[in-house]
């Protein structure tokens, strides 16, 4: 297996919003190139224009108000919103060289997001029966601050996770986010934390070595 070396991986940061379909096509092409051994692995930081994406388990009844474009994403999970103010991390790694364990990969992704948020003083956690990254909202109730959805094709990963920095939270009302009706959605801004996208990227970059190391652990 590869040693956890961030320098081996391309770290890409897109300053402008990238249309979702464009990003999806780029991911699929890069996935194939990584499989073929003709491209490096990729960690990609970006935001999208407003869009609803449907995972492979999405139910039509959970699309409440299709006010934005709806795109079939091909990842696991249900409906998710992406838009300005939400920072997305796409993770394209070769698990043939990093343990070939999808469950470990997902847990490591969750730990990466939670570790970066902890650097900012935000305590977050996962809940076994609920997908995503959870924290306490302004009202003290649990609320989702991050979404996770992945696809693994021939042991090369696609998609990743998204964390709400300062999106328009009303945009989430057009769907049942990830099929979970009884809990709300929050953001760093909603919690009183103003954070520029570049500062979030720096927190993730600082936590990335721990994420890569977690992929190597046999007991993860």
| 89 is annotated as contributing to ligand binding | no
| 162 is annotated as contributing to ligand binding | yes
| 76 is annotated as contributing to ligand binding | yes
| 205 is annotated as contributing to ligand binding | no
Taking the C-alpha atoms of residue 71 and residue 90, their distance in angstroms, rounded to an integer, is 17
Which contacts qualify for 22-25: CB closer than 8 Å, 24 or more apart? 23/48, 23/90, 24/71, 24/73, 24/74
| 217 is annotated as contributing to ligand binding | no
Q: Determine contact, residues 112/211, Cβ cutoff 8 Å.
A: yes
| 173 is annotated as contributing to ligand binding | no
Please give the DSSP secondary-structure letter assigned to residue 191.
T
| 77 is annotated as contributing to ligand binding | yes
126 to 111, 129, 133, 134, 168: CA distances (angstroms): 9, 9, 5, 6, 23
Which contacts qualify for 129-136: CB closer than 8 Å, 24 or more apart? 130/178, 130/180, 130/183, 131/77, 131/178, 131/180, 132/178, 132/180, 133/161, 133/163, 134/183, 135/186, 135/191
| 140 is annotated as contributing to ligand binding | no
| 157 is annotated as contributing to ligand binding | no
| 80 is annotated as contributing to ligand binding | yes
| 161 is annotated as contributing to ligand binding | yes
Structure tokens at 83: 């838009």
Q: Is residue 71 exposed (0-12), middle (13-18) or buried (19+ Cβ within 10 Å)?
A: middle
Question: Residue 17 catalytic?
Answer: no
Give the active site residue among 18, 152, 178, 204.
178
| 37 is annotated as contributing to ligand binding | no
Residues annotated within the binding site for substrate are: 75-82, 147-149, 160-162
Which residues define the annotated binding site? 75-82, 147-149, 160-162
Question: Which of the residues are catalytic?
Answer: 178
């Amino acid at each position: 297996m590869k040693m956890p070396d961030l320098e081996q991986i391309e770290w890409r940061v897109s300053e402008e919003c990238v249309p979702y379909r464009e990003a999806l096509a780029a991911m699929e092409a890069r996935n194939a190139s990584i499989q073929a051994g003709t491209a490096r692995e990729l960690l990609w930081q970006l935001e999208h224009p407003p869009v609803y994406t449907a995972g492979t388990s999405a139910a039509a009844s959970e699309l409440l108000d299709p006010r934005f474009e709806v795109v079939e994403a091909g990842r696991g999970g249900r409906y998710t919103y992406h838009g300005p103010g939400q920072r997305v991390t796409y993770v394209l790694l070769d698990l043939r060289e990093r343990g070939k364990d999808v469950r470990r990969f997902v847990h490591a992704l969750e730990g990466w997001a939670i570790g970066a948020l902890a650097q900012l003083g935000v305590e977050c956690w996962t809940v076994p029966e609920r997908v995503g990254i959870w924290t306490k909202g302004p009202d003290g109730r649990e609320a989702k601050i991050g979404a996770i959805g992945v696809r693994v094709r021939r042991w090369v990963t696609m998609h990743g996770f998204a964390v709400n920095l300062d999106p328009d939270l009303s945009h989430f009302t057009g769907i049942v986010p990830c099929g979970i009706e009884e809990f709300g959605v929050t953001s760093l801004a909603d919690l009183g934390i103003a954070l520029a996208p570049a500062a979030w990227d720096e927190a993730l970059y600082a936590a990335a070595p721990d994420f890569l190391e977690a992929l190597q652990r046999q007991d993860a």
